[in-house]
Structure 1
Amino acid sequence: MSNSHHALIVVDVQESFPHRDYYQEKYVPAFLQHAQKLIDGAAKAGIKTVQVFHVEPEGAFSKASGFIKTLSPITIQPDTIIEKFRHSAFAGTSLDIWLKENRINELTICDIRTEQCCETTTRHGSDIGYKINYVTDATLTFDMTHPDGSTLNADQIKHRTETVLSGRFATIRSVDEAIANFKG
């Protein structure tokens, strides 16, 4: 049975990231497991899936790099593919049009980088009227250095992101909660 008003948005789960200096492998195995479980759960529930790739003119995110492809070993059969050039998957893309054409009003979002494109897409989607489910377990980020020199680890960044999104822009869900929500 399909939940035709719901879509999974998989943002920037692409081979470009391992070629950036901030990439930290220690966080990747859990992300891969959770993201694949979410993608498989959506497919099993008949949820449409949108795969979004970030594209830049040069470097690891350029088309010339050959890295604008699904991060291995993730497997996904998207219903559509969107290329974005900004942090939000909505900004300057056909995503909103595609979702409206498919009568979708609820989105579940997973991605690589929790606090950047995932959070930005979540806020933008909420602001233009979509019900958003944010699946933190199926997002990936890396430790970051604050301007004062202190370090925020990935778990702290995820915690902060959940804090600012919850109840304002999204419902925070675990992978299992999101899959249960797919089934209605």
Structure 2
Amino acid sequence: MRRALVVIDVQNEYFTGDLPIAHPPREESLAAVLTAMDTAREHGVPVVVVRHTSPASSPLFGSGGHGWELREEVAGRPYDHLVDKATASAFAGTDLGGWLEERGVDTLTVAGYMTQNCDESTARDAFHRGLAVEFLSDATGTVALATPAGSLSARQVHEHVLVVMASNFAAVATTAEWAAAVRAGEPLPRPSIWASTRQEAAARA
């Protein structure tokens, strides 16, 4: 097993800009991201930092602006590769897939923002590329959503994504659980769509 940690879009926009992360509380999720980065560094797990980049005139993540810049705590830590992306998935239009393949990575750990957007998109793409995926529940986060289809609190959005990820696409774990697995050199338990539907099937029986 060869892991890599991908730290997605931990940028000022989510802290002091127009998209402040609401759940988990952004300072708590940031602390978990930093713990994951430190753990990865200590145990030889390569770290990829991803930065969302929009045109300079964009109101969100405008290239060169303060909101576009990485949080200083992330920027100040060592990492192995920087990916600039323009869409939700860190794989789309970037060299991430090739970079991971060249290093023999077969397991991708997802941290950063936002849970249902760039995190979930990257996790699903990784899954469909044949990678095992790990999704850190406390090192990710999001905002409340209101659309023509309805509205959800940030906590509801976050928790709904974790349930779906854990049903098939990713092993969902806290940063502490993941760090213990890294130290032991062990994989996290893999998700099972069969097992995740058993409770519902039993209720219908």
TM-score normalised by L of structure 2: 0.80
- Please identify runs of 4+ aligned residues in structure 1 that moved more than 6 A: none
- 1:122-176 deviation per Cα after TM superposition (whole angstroms, max 9, x unaligned): 00100111100000100021122243664x2222111100111113110111111
Q: Is 1:7 equivalent to 2:4 in the alignment?
A: yes
Helix, strand or coil for the counterpart of 1:108? strand
Which residue of 2 is the match for residue 126 of structure 1? 127
Larger Rg: 2
Report the Cα distance in structure 2 between the residues aligned to 1:178 and 1:34, rounded to whole angstroms: 11
Go from structure 1 to structure 2 and tell me whether the alpha carbon gap of 1:7 and 1:154 turns closer, same or farther (over 3 Å shift): same
d(CA) in 2 for partners of 1:33, 1:138: 8
**Other structure's SS at 1:159 match:** helix
Distance change (3 Å), C-alpha of 1:24 and 1:101: closer
Query: How many angstroms apart in 1 are the aligned matches of 2:168 and 2:22?
Result: 31
Cα shift at 1:15 = 1.6
Of 29, 33, 36, the residue aligned with 2:34 is: 36
Q: Which letter maps to 1:31? A: S
Aligned CA RMSD, in angstroms, stands at 1.9
Q: Which has the higher contact order (CA 8 A, sep 6+)?
A: 1
Q: What is the CA-CA distance between 1:53 and the residue it aligns to?
A: 0.4
Q: Judge which range, 89-98 or 140-149, deviates more.
A: 140-149
Secondary structure of 1:65 counterpart:
coil
Shift of the 24–89 alpha-carbon distance from structure 1 to 2, 3 Å rule, reads closer
Partner of 1:51: 49
Percent identity (aligned): 29
Question: Deviation of residue 181 (structure 1)?
Answer: 2.0
> Are the structure 2 counterparts of residues 81 and 24 from structure 1 closer, same or farther at C-alpha, using a change threshold of 3 Å?
closer
Equivalent residues in 2 for 1:18-33 (5 A)? 18=15, 20-24=17-21, 27-33=25-31
CA distance in 1, matches of 2:174, 2:60: 30
* 1:49-88 matched pairs, under 5 angstroms: 49-57=47-55, 58-74=58-74, 75-88=76-89
The aligned counterpart of 2:188 is: none
Q: Can you give the 5+ residue segments of structure 1 that lack an aligned partner in the other structure?
A: none
Q: Check the 8 A contact 1:17/1:60 in 2, yes or no.
A: no
AA partner of residue 170 (structure 2): A
